[in-house]
Amino acid sequence: MSMATGVVLFVIGAILAFAVNIQTDVVSVSTIGYILMAGGAVVFVIGLVLSIRGNRSVTTSRTDGAGNRVTSSSSTTTDDRI
């Protein structure tokens, strides 16, 4: 899931909700459009949250008994591709 997928779902939903006028007895095209718009917004927010918290790194510096500086670093990367 990514932000682009959310945008695409939202746009397709908006087209179905506002631009397509098809009358069917089985399903309401406008309702499907609204559902896709809501799903697109949710996917966009999830992708945004994952990209914000995706890269974190921690660097720790300390001095050993002889006065030498010792630095260690670790990084965590979250990839939101499925």
Tens-digit pLDDT profile for residues 17-69: 999 998 888 999 999 999 999 999 999 999 998 888 866 666 777 777 777 77
DSSP, collapsed to helix, strand or coil, labels residue 3 as helix
pLDDT of residue 74: 64
For residue range 70-80, what is the model confidence (pLDDT) as tens digits? 766 666 655 54
The pTM for the full model equals: 0.65
**Residue 15: partners with Cβ closer than 8 Å, 6 or more residues away:** 33
